[in-house]
Amino acid sequence: MSKNDLDSFVSAVAAGALIPDPATMFNPWGDHDPLHDTGPDAPRVRADHLQRYLAARLGRARVLLIAEAPSYSGAKFSGMAMTSERDVLAAHAAGRGSDYFDGGFQRTSRVLPQLKNTDGMLERTASIVWAAMSGNGWAPTDFVLWNAVAYHPHDTGRPLTNRAPSVSERRALRPLLEQFLALFPGVPRLAIGRICQHSLADMGIDALPARHPSYGGAPEFRAAVADLRARLTA
């Protein structure tokens, strides 16, 4: 796929035109959270992160990892699915910022004591996923992380909550998932967690299953990643 295709995808994601109810779904690349963002420029920063993250993987990715939906501690602030601000900032401090993309990274979460985010927001699932991939020999640009539902579903009036997206939301946002998949034609897909697996099956999208790494599922998730690695290198 071309840079124009990528530009169109990021523009469509940032526009958020397919979101059924903006009151219960946050668009990290188009919405400003005045309580928790560093400033009104935060959505543009996150869109730039997403653009550069995907650009670094176009034509290079060997597997797509797709989860259910963004969480408030991951993509809501980093702009990248299953990726924590804290991990990216730590990587830059250690000289490994190019694991994500070339160039600088800017945090968008405001430092607030109740969030314990002095070093950036942390999504533990994201840390497990990245560690499992690197631990099984995948280079950072070998894999792409995304969600079946692009945006962060939350309870009304509570932006820092996570909820499962409804069937109607999943179906409404299917065009964005299809547009994402078109960026990486023929690349194998790993569906993380049963809900995501059911979502993709409901949409007729083929993917290999992997247990979600949360709630004690990390060993099984790592095993699925190792199995996929073995299949693709056999």
Please name each of the domains of the chain with its CATH number.
3-233 (3.40.470.10)
Cβ contacts of residue 110 below 8 Å, gap of 6+?
35, 36, 37, 38
- Rounded distance, CA 76 to CA 83, Å? 10
pLDDT at 229: 87
| Residue-wise burial string across 172-206, b where 16 or more C-beta atoms lie within 10 A, e elsewhere | bbbebbeebbebbeeeebbbbbebbbebbeeeebe
- Model pLDDT, residue 143: 97
* pLDDT in the model for residue 7: 97
**Predicted pLDDT at 234:** 64
Q: What is the pLDDT of residue 100?
A: 97
Amino acid at 225: V
* Other residues' Cβ atoms within 10 Å of the Cβ of residue 165: 24
pLDDT of residue 228: 87
Residues linked to residue 37 through DSSP beta bridges, in sequence order: 109
Q: Are 182 and 5 in contact (CB under 8 A)?
A: yes
Q: What is the DSSP string of the chain?
A: --HHHHHHHHHHHHH-TT-S-TTSEE-TTT---TTTBSSTTHHHHHHHHHHHHHHTTTTT--EEEEES---TTTHHHHSSTT--HHHHHHHHHTT-GGGT-SS-----BPP-GGGT-TT----HHHHHHHHHHHHTT--GGGEEEEESS-SEE-BTTBTT---PPPHHHHHHTHHHHHHHHHHSTT--EEEESHHHHHHHHHTT---EEE--STTTTHHHHHHHHHHHHHHHH-
Question: With the C-alpha atoms ordered 47, 49, 55, 58, is the resulting torsion angle positive or negative?
Answer: negative
| Contact between 179 and 55 (Cβ < 8 Å) | no
CA distance 223 to 103: 33
Other beta carbons within 10 Å of 121: 25
- List the chain residues with pLDDT less than 50: none
